[in-house]
Structure 1
Amino acid sequence: MSIKLGIIGGGVMGEAILSRLIAQQVYRPDQVLVSDPQAQRREVLSQRYGVNVTSDNGVAAKADEVLLLAIKPQVFKAVASDLVSKDGNHSSASETLPMVISILAGVSLTELEAAFEHQPVIRAMPNTPATVGAGITAIAPGKTVTANHIEQAKTLLGAVGEVVEVSESLMDAVTGLSGSGPAYVAVMIEALADGGVAAGLPRAIASKLALSTVWGTAQLLQDKQIHPAQLKDQVTSPGGTTIAGIAELERSGFRSALIEAVQAAYRRSQQLGK
């Protein structure tokens, strides 16, 4: 049995990536080994996707091609220390070792490369829409990463959405925008629905209209490749309803609030990484 992909951590994001990789046949189930400390979780992943499972992180770390770290950032040091003590995956620079892809928020390339000193390391920041294949992931390559490694990472992470490459210095900004962004959009959709209810719409109809409006607008901007301001101008007629609504958004500081939200999350991400 040849294990090409090892995954340490079978939680929500780990499963999201796993499910899409299997569905898109990037890897066969028998080529994947997932390590998770919870027996119930291992059973679920085994039955749901047909992959190999284990409670031994050291076994998963010996995958032939890629090791995906999908654990909580708080346990990274303990997991990394355990791998070293077991002489599991990076005992010699001469060994053929898998590329490491980490989706751990706040864990720097410096920390990752110190833990996996003989391996190419890529730091990645996906967001929650990845669970339905509509996410976007930013990747920052480490010192020994080659063009082939980057393409391999893009293939793997592209299974859950788009992939962009950035320098690590921008990862906190990525966290503030796309990492935390789904929550901002969710609040906006909720507020739009509340506005509809305030105007007399039934809750179910208001929620459907709000969600579909946001979804459709994003799709339109993506497909037509136009600037958001251009679409806004197309919808806004002189003296009409839309300009009245936009004027109220401007009076309430809607645009500034979103900018400040991204910056606040960016600053918090910086704090968590120290």
Structure 2
Amino acid sequence: MEGMTIIAVIGGGQIGEALVSGLVAADVNPQNIRVTNRREERGAELEERYGVVTMTDNAQAVDGADVVFLCVKPKMILDVLAEIATTVDNNSVSTVVVSMAAGINLASMEEKVSAGMPIVRVMPNTPMLVRKGMCTVTGGRFVDAEQLELVQELLTSVGDVMVVEESDLDAVTALSGSSPAYLFLVTEALIDAGVSLGLTRAAAKQLAVSAFDGAGTMLKETGREPSDLRAGVSSPAGTTVAALRELEESGIRGAFFRAAQACADRSAEMGRN
């Protein structure tokens, strides 16, 4: 990791803090990380926890920064860009600005600032809070290969990173941005089913959560096809296939197709507004 890279994180909320925590764990010098918050108490908390430099002034934070991560709500992104644009333009380094907000496209961000500003659009997901995130990265018109690589490198501190086209982002939202919620819902349903079978809620939760965690690790670490792994659990005329048949008859695949479509459609609609 570049020793002297100066990083500004605008907004030290959940996503901002997750990023800071990952960067510090990946041995970025906390004194090279500046985090802004509107509330000074929150700044003091982050300073104490990670040793980072905290500020309340966004323009001051981006002064001389190599990378600026915008970790604010989507509706605030364009205002914050307007607020920092002049400082970024006057920096002696070529500052790359990274938006972590859903729905705000590169064109509308590039329009808000003077021509030539390198802007990267990232779609994160909440497992980055436990460094198991899936972040996708899309470079704007003025981003060079080195800047894109630096952003990717910094984001690997909170999980996996993949470069995607902006036209794929509605699908990406359905597959990684929103999908942790689908898996939480399935886990929740399984726990309720366990309670209905007579287990205590605590026992049902431990069994279901541990099974999901283990299954996810198997998928990731073996690299095998989900269908192979499923076949490996399904002995002839056994208990697993009895359950799988019920799920298939309930139309679980179709439900996921429709859910992903609804998510992508909503994402497109939000992008248009």
Which bin holds the TM-score, normalised by the shorter protein? over 0.9
Matches within 5 A, 1:38-187: 38-84=39-85, 87-90=86-89, 95-116=92-113, 117-187=115-185
Kindly tell me the number of residue pairs found equivalent between the two proteins. 268
Question: Which consecutive segments of 4 or more residues in structure 1 shift more than 6 A?
Answer: none
Task: Give the match's secondary structure for 2:89.
Answer: coil
- Pick from 240, 243, 250 the counterpart of residue 241 of structure 2: 243
- Pick from 11, 14, 23 the counterpart of residue 12 of structure 1: 14
- Displacement of 1:114 in angstroms is 2.4
The residue type paired with residue 60 of structure 1 is A
CA deviations over 1:197-238 (Å, ceiling 9, x no partner): 111211111111101111111111111111101111111122
Identify if the C-alpha distance between structure 1 residues 115 and 8 changes in structure 2 by more than 3 Å, giving closer, same or farther: same
Whether the 8 Å contact between 1:46 and 1:53 is mirrored in structure 2 is yes
Task: Give the match's secondary structure for 1:219.
Answer: helix
Give 1:252's aligned residue. 250
Share of identical aligned residues, percent?
38
Whether the 8 Å contact between 1:134 and 1:161 is mirrored in structure 2 is yes
- Name the stretch that deviates more: 130-139 or 33-42: 33-42
Return the alpha-carbon distance in structure 1 between the equivalents of residues 219 and 163 of structure 2: 22
Whether the 8 Å contact between 2:66 and 2:93 is mirrored in structure 1 is no
CA deviations over 1:159-205 (Å, ceiling 9, x no partner): 00000111010111111121111110000111111111111211111
The residue type paired with residue 103 of structure 1 is M
CA deviations over 1:75-131 (Å, ceiling 9, x no partner): 1222222234xx322258xx4331111101111111222234332211101100000
Return the alpha-carbon distance in structure 2 between the equivalents of residues 123 and 228 of structure 1: 30
Give 1:204's aligned residue. 202
Return the alpha-carbon distance in structure 1 between the equivalents of residues 25 and 90 of structure 2: 34
Q: Which runs of 5+ in 2 are unaligned?
A: none
- Name the stretch that deviates more: 156-165 or 232-241: 232-241
Return the alpha-carbon distance in structure 1 between the equivalents of residues 54 and 221 of structure 2: 40
Whether the 8 Å contact between 2:78 and 2:109 is mirrored in structure 1 is no
Identify if the C-alpha distance between structure 1 residues 89 and 150 changes in structure 2 by more than 3 Å, giving closer, same or farther: closer
Give 1:31's aligned residue. 32
The residue type paired with residue 100 of structure 2 is I
Return the alpha-carbon distance in structure 2 between the equivalents of residues 231 and 59 of structure 1: 52
Give 1:222's aligned residue. 220
Whether the 8 Å contact between 1:13 and 1:70 is mirrored in structure 2 is yes
Whether the 8 Å contact between 1:68 and 1:101 is mirrored in structure 2 is yes
The residue type paired with residue 122 of structure 2 is A
Identify if the C-alpha distance between structure 1 residues 63 and 260 changes in structure 2 by more than 3 Å, giving closer, same or farther: farther
Identify if the C-alpha distance between structure 1 residues 63 and 187 changes in structure 2 by more than 3 Å, giving closer, same or farther: farther
Return the alpha-carbon distance in structure 1 between the equivalents of residues 81 and 66 of structure 2: 18
Q: Which runs of 5+ in 1 are unaligned?
A: none
TM-score (norm 1): 0.93
Whether the 8 Å contact between 2:64 and 2:93 is mirrored in structure 1 is no
Task: Give the match's secondary structure for 1:138.
Answer: strand
Whether the 8 Å contact between 1:3 and 1:63 is mirrored in structure 2 is no
Return the alpha-carbon distance in structure 1 between the equivalents of residues 209 and 251 of structure 2: 22
